[in-house]
Amino acid sequence: MKNLGFTDYFVSIYVTLLKHKELDARRLSELPNVPYSRVYEVLNEMIEKGVIIKIDGRPSTYSATTPREMLTSLQANQNQFFEQNARVIRPYLESLFGPEKSAVETSLSIIYGNNAICARLTNVIKSTAQSLSLAIADLEAYFPPISTELERLKARNVHITVIVDDSQKGTPNFNQISSLVSVKTSPDLLGTFAIADGINVLIISPKATQGSTHTPLEVIGLSSSHSSVAYVFQAIFQKIIEK
């Protein structure tokens, strides 16, 4: 786990939560190598990385995400870090390489698990500096995890455009998001997606069933940090608004 960038604190806390399922900060601070003075700092960092989740209460407790969700979230964070640094050095390297080719390869991350998807959506919104386009088909699933970050973007005067499926009108979540930002509605909105600053994109598949058995299909997220992908989905977003 250390080879994936985990500190001793991360390893101790994550492994312990996998074993004990749910513990509070005091119990976690009793672990070796986890001093009480740093336990909340470490826990908050792990939450941001999608490694654990916080369960509000008195006291609040913490639970580990599944190993698959943890690894997926960690990969998404590493991909974002890589893309941020790649954007810095790419212009210089491309100037050495010569004219741009007609086809460009780009990475597309697949995210499994609702917790990891919500964590990635929160990170996309949190990283927004100038503009956010957000389409939400299922407010109950995706608005609560991002409501705080939307408030922060609004306070920073970030330009936010939100489209919500017509079926969500009148729900408590619809009323709450409408009080935060201007919301447009659209019939039969297929899936949820976010476009941040015209480059970071997260597309979340809609809930669906398979075949005559109506077996629920797993919801997945597709994440990209390529401007061309963002351009396509921004155009789709604009078409929905103009309907």
Q: 2-64 belongs to which CATH class? A: mainly alpha
Distance CA 162, CA 133 (A): 6
**pLDDT (tens digit, 9 = 90+) per residue, 112-135?**
888 899 999 999 999 899 999 999
| Per CATH, domain 107-242 is 3.40.50.620 | no
* 138 touches 200 (CB < 8 A): no
Secondary structure (3-state) at 159: strand
pLDDT score of 173: 94
pLDDT score of 223: 92
**pLDDT (tens digit, 9 = 90+) per residue, 68-108?**
877 877 777 777 778 888 888 888 777 776 665 555 566 78
**pLDDT (tens digit, 9 = 90+) per residue, 146-188?**
999 999 999 999 999 999 999 999 999 999 999 999 999 998 7
**pLDDT (tens digit, 9 = 90+) per residue, 183-220?**
999 987 878 999 999 999 999 988 755 555 556 678 89
Distance CA 219, CA 225 (A): 20
> Which residues, other chains included, contact 33 with Cβ-Cβ below 8 Å and sequence gap of 6+?
8, 9, 12
Distance CA 117, CA 115 (A): 5
Secondary structure (3-state) at 13: helix
> Domain extents for the chain?
2-64, 107-242
* Residue 193: burial class (beta carbons within 10 Å; 0-12, 13-18, 19+): buried
Token digits for 14?
């994550």
Backbone angles phi, psi at 73, to 5 degrees: -65, -40
**pLDDT (tens digit, 9 = 90+) per residue, 13-49?**
888 888 888 888 888 878 766 777 778 888 888 888 7
* 97 touches 165 (CB < 8 A): no
